[in-house]
Amino acid sequence: MSQAARETLHNVFGYAEFRPGQEEIVDLLSEGTSALVVMPTGAGKSLCYQIPGLLSDRLTIVISPLVALMDDQVSALLANGVAAVAIHSGLPRDEQVSNWRSVAADECRLLYLSPERLMKPRMLDAIARLNPALFVVDEAHCISKWGMSFRPEYEQLSILRDRFPHTAIAGFTATADKATRADIAQKLFRNEGRTIVHGFDRPNLRLAAAPKDDWKAQLLSFLEDKREEAGIIYCLSRKYTEEVAEFLCAEGFNAIPYHAGRTPETRRANQNRFMSEKAVTMVATIAFGMGVDKPDIRYVCHLNLPGSMEAYYQEIGRAGRDGLPAETLMLFGLADMRMRRQFIEQDGEDEAHKLREHKRLDALLAYCDAASCRRTALLSYFDENTNACGNCDNCQDPPKMIDGTHNAQLLFSVIADTGEMFGGAHIIDVLRGAKTQKVEDRKHNNLQGYGGGHAHPKDYWQGFIRQAVASNYLTINIQKYGALQITPTGFAVSAGEEKFSLREIIITKSSGGRKTTKRSSAPIAAGDQDLLATLKKLRLELARKKNVPAYVIFPDATLMEMARERPATIDEMSEINGVGPRKLEGFGAVFLEVIATGG
């Protein structure tokens, strides 16, 4: 089957070779073997199920969580001459009927559905009559309560194995730890299939994290050498997204806000700008990112804590998909920790689920305050071992570790003496001897520890508490309005039974507390940049005429190769990766004309 798969890869999609790992998965699914595939973001998972779908003489059904993602994938397939349709509530009724008729008439091989639409009894009955060859569950971690984004409608997919015992089922995800993988495999195909894990390591990403001090100064320091590059800045709220974008525009950056509060038309236009213009900073909530196929994103910055290690890994994975160096930075603070805890507590009534999410957040906090190699810490979370990377802030600028036992005992005594009922702000006021109304009303100025920490500024104690929380000496009790409480490990320090090792806290107002290494890694030669910009402009014009995302015409990697190789004939254009026969016919001549003029 591999020869047929390679021919389809070249003749339909315009690629000369499979990426590492793709061919094995294509062969497995083509043979009818069920599989759970864990692949890093940007590794080319869609081809792994689209090619088996085209090679089969029966229907392949792709289950996807986002309407926009389904539409974009169908548009991309149609652009390559592949008959594919989607059926979802966002389409007009007559178009849904027409699409189903083409499926029932065996006129297409790929059908995209949401889990909600698939699991309707009438739809299941209709599909059973078609005897599909393969079900593909995209974002498969959503089926598991152990996963970071469990969705009840996804869990219903677990009945597919019983309803369609002779149909192969494949799950694809970029983020699943060992427990989540086992749960997915059981739910999707009762463990009667293969689990394939392609390494989580992205060695071209430089990892960095720092306490949030002055976010504006820290952000400008991080972006200092990136004004001519594209990147994403993630924020937790819509309001903050707008504020950050406005700030960056005032500083001369081409920054665009993106969040669910903006109209679909505005979001699509902003996404096209990000895909087509040379150096755009997308300031976004997590509403942005899924399905964005832009290989030359050179940085991802988090101005707020993500929800978990899985979410963090998925979001930084959008940088550097072309394999060239890219940078990441995550800023974190106590307010973020408190807000994330609150989100978890407000997420339904399932206490076991809440406990799991708190543990996920604990893992992320431990990563934030890690004193050793960040890549080692990140990969160990996904059960993958590696040596120190030399490409993270801790490897390049190791933190100084000091004995913080005395100050930890002072902090814990104040927390205990105030009844473990107060958040960090009040505890710091007591430590520093502040004369606030709250301190005096509760007579906390009479405590033995009152003023005992006056030698250190407020910022120092905020950092100290963060490290104590991240290392599980303290917890934040959301049900008691963010009260700090001492864990058994913290009590052991108070009793003198354990030491408290502290990463040295450096108070600064001008940077993230870490070095940011300058890079010189332009994806193409400087002389080709003008042509690349012209090709992107042409792509955007074509995309607007067809009302599709810009990358459906050609992905950035293909335009970069055109700018670099400068094909002069149709035959030469056909050798460019990503230029299949249908796209060659539809767009080859117009792109050749632009290349011939040199942009």
What does the pLDDT look like over 291-327, one tens digit per residue? 676 889 999 999 999 988 888 998 998 999 888 999 9
| Spatial separation of the C-alpha atoms in residues 433 and 415, rounded to whole Å | 14
The whole-number pLDDT of residue 516 equals: 36
Which residues are within 8 A (CB) of 452 and not within 5 positions of it... i.e. 6 or more apart? Answer: 410, 414, 431
State the Cα angle at 189 between 183 and 194, rounded to 5°.
85
User: Do the beta carbons of residue 567 and residue 576 sit within 8 Å?
Assistant: yes
Residue-level pLDDT at 432:
97
Distance (Å) of CA 17 to CA 2, 7, 37, 569: 12, 10, 20, 22
> What is the pLDDT, as a whole number, of residue 199?
80
Beta strands in 430-565 (DSSP E): 474-477, 483-486, 501-503
The residue with greater pLDDT, 407 or 43, is 407
Q: How much is the pLDDT for 17? A: 92
Q: Which band of pLDDT confidence, cut at 50, 70 and 90, is reported for residue 142?
A: confident
Confidence check: pLDDT of 45 > 80: yes
| Domains of the chain, CATH where assigned | 2-197 (3.40.50.300), 205-396 (3.40.50.300), 401-503 (1.10.10.10), 526-596 (1.10.150.80)
The whole-chain average pLDDT of the chain stands at 89
Q: Which residue has the tokens 């042509």?
A: 531
> Is pLDDT of 277 > 70?
yes
Q: What are the helix (H) ranges across 156-293?
A: 160-163, 178-189, 215-223, 238-250, 264-276
pTM of the predicted protein model: 0.71
Nearest to 423 by CA among 331, 308, 337, 332: 337
pLDDT-based confidence at residue 149 (cuts at 50, 70, 90): low
CB 88 within 8 A of CB 70: yes
Q: What percent of the chain has pLDDT over 70?
A: 95
Lowest mean pLDDT among 316-330, 385-399, 518-532: 518-532
Provide the pLDDT for residue 310.
Answer: 86
* Residue % of the chain over a pLDDT of 90: 58
- The three-state secondary structure class of 111 is strand
Q: What is the pLDDT of residue 512?
A: 39
Beta bridge partners of 37: 172, 196
pLDDT at 522 over 60: no
pLDDT for position 526: 72
| Rounded Cα distance, 587 and 205, in Å | 34
| pLDDT exceeds cutoff 50 at 408 | yes
pLDDT band at 146 (very low <50, low <70, confident <90, very high): low
Do 174 and 38 touch, CB atoms closer than 8 A? yes
Is residue 200 pLDDT above 60, yes or no? yes
- Position 449 scores a pLDDT of 96
Of residues 459, 510, 508, 507, the one with CA closest to residue 217: 510
| 118 beta partners | none
- Tokens at 487, concatenated: 């864990």
> What's the token pair of residue 101?
């008729």
Roughly how many angstroms between the first and final C-alpha of the chain, as a whole number? 42
Residue 248 or residue 477, greater confidence: 248
Mean pLDDT of 543-564: 87
